[in-house]
Amino acid sequence: MRSFSAILLASAGGALAAIDPQYAANLTLYHVNEKNYTLGDITNMNTGDLAGDAVFALRSRYLPIECAGWVPGAPDPTHTHIDCSNPEAASADLAVTKLVVEVDTRFGQYGMCNVHNGVYSCVCGTWGKPAPCGAAVGVENVTEAFLRQIPVTNATVDTTYWFLNLLEKLVGNWYSHVGSGQCGGPGADPGAPCTWRVVGVERRVDKHCSEKVVNAGVVAAAPACFGACPQPTNATSDCYIKCFYGALLGAQANETLVPAAMGLGLPAEDILALWDSPFAADSPCPSI
């Protein structure tokens, strides 16, 4: 297992940049991005806890349907196709990293951190009124945030219902890590309290390998559905994708909101254990 320990950096005067101990806490977080970025570097990037990152990753499984016929650069005022051009969702060379981050729990507004021309940056405010982010670690309850943005009355297609039902079943958080808050990071005041630091990386794995592990568990839950597909192992086919979300969320999850209390599909704890399993010591996915 590959790991490292983060070192608190000293300023020129010998002072250490550190998080106020009374507000410090360690979080186990996950991050999906392209493999060419430095292992363990989450500067100006978003992460998620187990449920939050599972929502992000599992949502991307329906992109072959959502992005069919999508034209790059076409107007997208409702952001329906935002992940079709998101390198963290659509790139063919992605990795998933599990890491421990020490944070100052006096959280701020969640920043939308994205990559443009290979450089990550974060923006706060709203879609219509962007604003700079402060140094605090941002946090957002994904379910609360997106169910406000996409009310059930606006759901008209399979992909929207699948996303809403993922949010209903898996309630997690997303976090933003602005460079100015990094302990000892570039742009941070080395003599001032900081808001986050990477303690260590537990493991980074290839996303394709991670998906194969998850697929095997989901197929085992509904073998008849997948077996009836013309291409039972083609994870990008409409039939496979519909079976995938049917097994996860329930057979009607493409046409109605399925309350988690109904117990349809796989239990949330089973989905989360399956999503986390590629990072286990006995996982078939090697560290990269």
Query: Cα–Cα distance between 162 and 159 in angstroms, integer?
Result: 5
What number is the average pLDDT over the span 242-256? 92
**pLDDT given at position 252:** 87
Tokens 């493991």 found at: 203
Tens digit of each residue's pLDDT (9 = 90 or more) over 265-287: 999 999 999 999 999 999 999 99
Mean pLDDT across 103-125: 95
Structure tokens that stand for 200 in this block: 């260590």
Backbone angles phi, psi at 279, to 5 degrees: -95, 0
CB neighbourhood size of 40 (10 A):
18
In this prediction, residue 128 has a pLDDT band, given cuts at 50, 70 and 90, of confident
Token pair for 248: 């996860």
**pLDDT band per the 50, 70, 90 thresholds, residue 56:** very high
**Distances in whole angstroms, Cα of residue 62 to Cα of each of 21, 180, 287:** 42, 35, 26
pLDDT tier for residue 14 given thresholds of 50, 70 and 90: very low
Give Cα separations from 196 to 26, 124, 249 (angstroms): 10, 18, 35
Predicted confidence at residue 187, as pLDDT, reads 64
Model's pTM, two decimal places?
Answer: 0.89
> Is 52 a residue whose pLDDT tops 50?
yes
pLDDT at 13 over 70: no
Distance CA 61, CA 236 (A): 8
Q: How confident is the model at residue 185 (pLDDT cuts 50, 70, 90)?
A: confident
Model confidence at 120: pLDDT above 80: yes
Lowest mean pLDDT among 127-131, 201-205, 231-235: 127-131
Higher pLDDT, 256 or 276: 276
Task: Reply yes or no on whether the pLDDT at 237 is more than 50.
Answer: yes
Mean of the pLDDT values across residues 139-144? 95
Q: Residue 188: its pLDDT value, please?
A: 64
Question: What does the buried/exposed string (b/e) look like for 147-184 if buried means 16 or more CB atoms within 10 Å of the residue's CB?
Answer: beebeeeebeebbbbbbbbbbbbbbbbbbbbbbbbbbb
**Structure confidence at residue 153 (pLDDT):** 54
Q: Categorize the per-residue pLDDT at 2 as very low, low, confident or very high, splitting at 50, 70 and 90.
A: very low
Band (150; pLDDT cuts 50, 70, 90): low
